[in-house]
Amino acid sequence: MVTSHTGRNTLCFPFYTVRQRRIKLYNHCSVSRRIRDQMIIAIIFWVLKSLAILGIFQFIVPSIVNALTGNRWIKLPILLVFAILAGIFMAWLQYVPCILFFLWLALNKHALRAMTEEKFESEAGMKINKPLFYISSYSYIVLACFSAWFFQAELITTGDPTGQGVLLWKHLIGLN
């Protein structure tokens, strides 16, 4: 509801015959519609970013690494390198994985449960090394989300909290 200059409440689509009232009310409603549309577009982009990150770094990368490494411990350092690359990718997208972290953990739990079933092991032709798969996959997710935060964290170097900040990782290696 919008209150007009006469004090009457009306809907956002007023059908007044007086042109000035309609223009004033329409301008007010168009601002709120613009804000709503911007929020909807932001949510759509957030969902698309989340799906892209999950598609690449939950479904494609671990599957390829698992197929290439099998039960060998080389899987852990390879996944940790890909975790840092995932963090860089999320930082490049300016994506902070707060909700994605928990969703990713739940998806990983489901994937590991499916991988440790006898049916999967017989189709894969190998017995899954549970500690290796659990340690490497969970450390991959934690490091990916932490590095996404780390590459976006800003350090305020002045005493003024509204002042210009520098990226924490640039400050730590001396590139500020």
Report how far residue 175's alpha carbon sits from residue 102's, in angstroms, rounded to the nearest whole number: 33
pLDDT band at 170 (very low <50, low <70, confident <90, very high): confident
The whole-number average pLDDT for the span 134-162 is 86
State the pLDDT at residue 71: 87
CA distance 25 to 60: 51
Question: Residues 3-10: what's their mean pLDDT?
Answer: 47
| Residue 17 reports pLDDT greater than 50 | no
Q: What angle do CA 22, 27, 31 make, to 5 degrees?
A: 145
pLDDT at residue 166, rounded to an integer? 76
Tell me the average pLDDT across 101-123: 90
SS3 165: strand
**pLDDT in the model for residue 50:** 93
Phi/psi of residue 155, nearest 5 degrees: -115, 125
Structure-token pair, residue 143? 């490091």
pTM of the predicted model over 0.75:
no
Residue 7 exposed, middle or buried by CB count within 10 Å (0-12, 13-18, 19+): exposed
The answer to whether 70 and 125 have CB atoms below 8 angstroms apart is no
- Is 26 strand, coil or helix? helix
Give tens-digit pLDDT for 28-86: 556 678 888 888 999 999 999 999 999 999 999 999 999 899 889 999 999 999 999 99
